[in-house]
Homo-oligomer: A and B are copies of this chain.
């Protein structure tokens, strides 16, 4: 019930700092009998791993996961699954200069104000590196959702700074470093990113995540609605500043006669709801859209203060993602998978195995 746990029944407790000995998580509540190997998890970790293209941080981390518990002879036993990732490429010296100053837009100011003490190396606990345990846990959730319900959770980037990236096909997503569903925009993105790196600046992005195949009936009436828990998970991801479900902010200008998805005997005609009505899944695809802010660690010089309150000029060198959104797609998928697994268990608790009572 402290702050570093996600989920109520499929619970992920995250630990670690960017340059400490290790990062990891404990997944408590995964059902027994699921086939699970380190390779299953490694596959997803490799998707968010740094150093995979010139457009992301060049930090070299194998992000090799070790399963410490909860799996016996290749199957989950129902007991907590602890996952460990050792930090390897932790060059503390890169960060020593900024231990006493605050980067504009960076969490170090808030951490210092909260705790009076912080691990400044590599951003410590506020580093995007701490999304790796989330991805590892999400790999388990994804596998269970897929095998138990046939649910598929996928994502792509739909905008990078000013460049719109319309959806063409899921087939393209794994074949470019941007998770673009449109191969034709890739060249333009590469040029944009190369210029951005030369500028020493960063930029924001928009990510779409979709879950298909889930039954109607998951979610809770008030407060812990399915969409509320999705919003919680997504806004809890580093750099996210906005979350939409279905029509999202566009629903402001819609009329009820347009927004409300009509139903026929063969199904819904549209999906402005994004798969959730009254906080409960309808059986339509869950569609989520995220706004990711530009990285705060940039080479451009900016005004700030030091711990004593004196004015300083801050310029962040080191190995940073110029667009954290680029590696955000697998993380957002993982978060959605964890929330869905959690609500699958919550629904099963109250309403039994038959998901759809209607």
Find chain B residues with CB under 8 A from A292 CB.
251-252
Is A169 in the interface zone, CB < 8 Å from B?
no
Find chain B residues with CB under 8 A from A13 CB.
5, 13, 26, 28, 80
Is A24 in the interface zone, CB < 8 Å from B?
yes
Is A295 in the interface zone, CB < 8 Å from B?
yes
Find chain B residues with CB under 8 A from A279 CB.
107, 110, 236
- Identify which of residues 95-150 in chain A touch chain B, using a CB-to-CB cut-off of 8 Å: 102-119, 124-126, 130
Q: Mark A222-251, 1 if CB is under 8 A from B, else 0.
A: 111101111111111010011111111111
A259–B296 Cα gap in the complex (Å)? 8
Partner of A282, one of B109, B221, B252, B311: B109
Q: Is A107's CB under 8 angstroms from B349's CB?
A: no
Find chain B residues with CB under 8 A from A21 CB.
66-69
Q: Is A105's CB under 8 angstroms from B277's CB?
A: yes
The contact sample of 19 A-B pairs, CB cut-off 8 A, is: A2-B9, A2-B10, A3-B221, A9-B349, A15-B26, A15-B80, A16-B68, A21-B69, A24-B82, A32-B115, A33-B117, A72-B117, A105-B273, A109-B216, A232-B232, A242-B244, A252-B292, A255-B294, A264-B311
Q: Is A1's CB under 8 angstroms from B6's CB?
A: no
A62–B104 Cα gap in the complex (Å)? 47
Q: Is B303's CB under 8 angstroms from A4's CB?
A: no
Most chain B beta-carbon neighbours within 10 Å: one of A201, A238, A278, A357: A278
> A41-49, A50-58, A177-185, A202-210: which one contacts chain B?
A202-210
Kindly list the 6 A-B residue pairs having the minimum CB-CB distance in the complex, ordered from nearest.
A107-B278, A3-B220, A105-B260, A116-B357, A228-B236, A202-B256
A217–B109 Cα gap in the complex (Å)? 9
Partner of A235, one of B10, B243, B277, B346: B243
Q: How far is the CB of A275 from chain B (nearest CB, A)?
A: 10
Q: Is B217's CB under 8 angstroms from A113's CB?
A: yes
Is A291 in the interface zone, CB < 8 Å from B?
yes
- A116: nearest residue on chain B (CB-CB)? B357
- A236: nearest residue on chain B (CB-CB)? B228
Q: Is B5's CB under 8 angstroms from A28's CB?
A: yes
A245–B218 Cα gap in the complex (Å)? 27
Find chain B residues with CB under 8 A from A175 CB.
none
A346–B206 Cα gap in the complex (Å)? 32
Partner of A78, one of B5, B24, B115: B115
How many residues of chain A have a CB within 8 Å of chain B?
161
Is A213 in the interface zone, CB < 8 Å from B?
no
Is A263 in the interface zone, CB < 8 Å from B?
yes
Find chain B residues with CB under 8 A from A259 CB.
105, 204, 293-294, 296
Find chain B residues with CB under 8 A from A219 CB.
3, 110, 114
Q: Is A220's CB under 8 angstroms from B2's CB?
A: yes
Q: A13-B80, A20-B72, A223-B233 are in contact. List 7 more A-B contacts (CB 8 A).
A: A9-B349, A17-B77, A113-B282, A116-B351, A203-B254, A241-B244, A260-B298
Find chain B residues with CB under 8 A from A68 CB.
15-16, 20-22, 24, 84
Q: How far is the CB of A320 from chain B (nearest CB, A)?
A: 9
Q: Is A252's CB under 8 angstroms from B206's CB?
A: yes
Q: Is A295's CB under 8 angstroms from B256's CB?
A: yes
Q: Mark A61-79, 1 if CB is under 8 A from B, else 0.
A: 0000011111010010111
